Amino acid sequence: MGALDLVKTLIGFDTTSRGSNLELIRFAQGHLEKSGARCRLTHDATGKKANLFATIGPEGDGGYVLSGHTDVVPVDGQDWSSDPFKAEVRDGKLYGRGACDMKGFVGTALSLAPEIAKARLKRPIHFALSYDEEIGCVGVTGLLEDLKREGIRPALALVGEPTLMKIVGAHKGGAKMVTHCCGREHHSSAPEKGANAVMMAGGFVSLLDSVWDGLRADEDARFDPPHSTVQATVIGGGTAVNILAARADVTWEYRCLPDRDPQAILDTVSRRAESEVLPKYRARASEAAFQTQMHAQYPGLKMDEDSPAVRLARELTGANQVEAVAYGTEAGHFQSYGIPAVICGPGSIEQAHRADEYCAVSEIEACEAFLRKVIAKASQ
C-alpha cells in the first residue's frame, strides 16, 4: 500500500479523542509486524486506548523514532463539504479529518515499513504512535515511561506534526486548567446576601487577561506571539436569571515560552485571585472560594540547534533555518525524557482542526522523500 492510500485508510478510522483508537492501533500493529517489527503496547486506565511502539532493525540502544499521534479533534458543528472520515483527493489536496494533523505523517511512515525492513539498517528505526495528544499530550507519557522502565534509549525523535516540512526546533509549553468558582445561592433581588459564582467567574476571567498583559514584556522574537499567553476559553454556570449562582466553571490555559517557569504563571493567578477578586465575595459568604484543577500539562520544546535531532533534520532537508512555533506537541515530552526531538511533517498547521482539513498531496510526497533519506541515514 502506497503512502497516499495508507493515509486514506487511516483517515477512515474515527479516532476522535473522546473515543477509542484501538482499531487503528491494531491495524498499524498488524501492518508493522508483517515487516518484522517488534511491537509494544501501553494502554490507558480504561483499556480502550493504546500507544504503539514498534522497532525494525538491530537490537540495542540508539535509532530514530518516527513519532505521531493517532487521535483527531471532533468534527461536531463543522460544515464539511465531504465526509470527514472518507478521504477524498480534489485538486491535488487530500481532504479528511487528520489529513494534516497528523495521519499524513503517520500513514507515510507506515507505508515505508517494508522498505525499512529490507534496508541494511545499522541502527533501528522506531515507530511511536500515541493516543490523546489533542487533549494535552496525555498518552505519550505512558509510552515514554515504558521505554524508561525497559531501558530502551532511542537516539532522537522526529515528530511529524504539520510544518510544511520545515524544521521546527522549539515550541511553547502549555496546560489546561478548570477553576471552580464556589459561591452561595440566594435570590437575585438580594445580591449582597449571597455570592454570585457567575460574577466571580467574570472577575477571574478579567484577572487572567491582566496576568496576560503582565507577560507581554517578556518576549522571544522567534515565537508568534512572542510572549507567554493566558486566556479563558470556556465558561459555564448558573441555573436561572433570578438565582445567584452557587457555582461556575472557567476553563483556561497558558502557553508558556519553553525556557520560562510555568509555575510562576499559576502562582501569580492563584495569589491575585485570592487577594484581588475573592475578598469581595468572602465578605458576603465565608465559603466563597476558587478551586483550580490541572487537567493536562505538557512541557515546551527548548531550542537546541546542536542536538542530534536538529542536526539530522537539517542535514537531510538542507534547511538553513530552524523555526519555533506557539502550538504544543509531544516533542517537549521526548526532550524531557532525555530523547532529543525535532518537528518536521507534511501539511500546514493552518489547516488543522478546521472543516475541510486537507494536506497537499505534494506534501505527502515530500515527506516520503524525507523519510527515505532517514532510512538511508540509518543504514550508513
The CATH number given to whatever domain includes residue 219 is 3.30.70.360
Contact between residue 360 and residue 206 where contact means Cβ atoms under 8 Å apart: no
38 & 164 share domain:
yes
Q: Are residues 165 and 192 in the same domain?
A: no
For residues 100 and 133, membership in a common domain is answered with yes
pLDDT along the chain (380 residues), means of 10: 96 98 98 98 97 96 96 97 97 98 98 97 98 95 97 97 98 97 97 97 98 97 97 97 97 97 97 98 97 96 97 96 96 98 97 97 98 97
| Amino acid 103: pLDDT | 98
Residues 149 and 284 in one domain: no
Q: Are residues 60 and 15 in the same domain?
A: yes
User: Other CB atoms closer than 10 Å to residue 259's CB: what's the count?
Assistant: 11
Query: Same domain for 234 and 284?
Result: yes
| Residue 152, domain CATH | 3.40.630.10
Q: Are residues 160 and 184 in the same domain?
A: no
**Is 120 in the same domain as 192?**
no
The predicted structure's pLDDT at residue 296: 92
Does residue 366 share a domain with residue 262?
no
Give catalytic residues, as residue numbers. 71, 133
pLDDT at 211: 98
> Residue 60: its pLDDT value, please?
86
At residue 361, the pLDDT reads: 98
Q: Are residues 316 and 353 in the same domain?
A: yes
Q: Do 162 and 26 lie in a common domain?
A: yes
Choosing from 233, 268, 298, the residue where a domain stops is: 298
Tell me which of 274, 298, 322 is where a domain ends: 298
Domain span including residue 369: 3-171+301-378
Domain C-terminal end among 245, 279, 298: 298
Number of domains in the chain: 2
One domain, residues 134 and 236: no
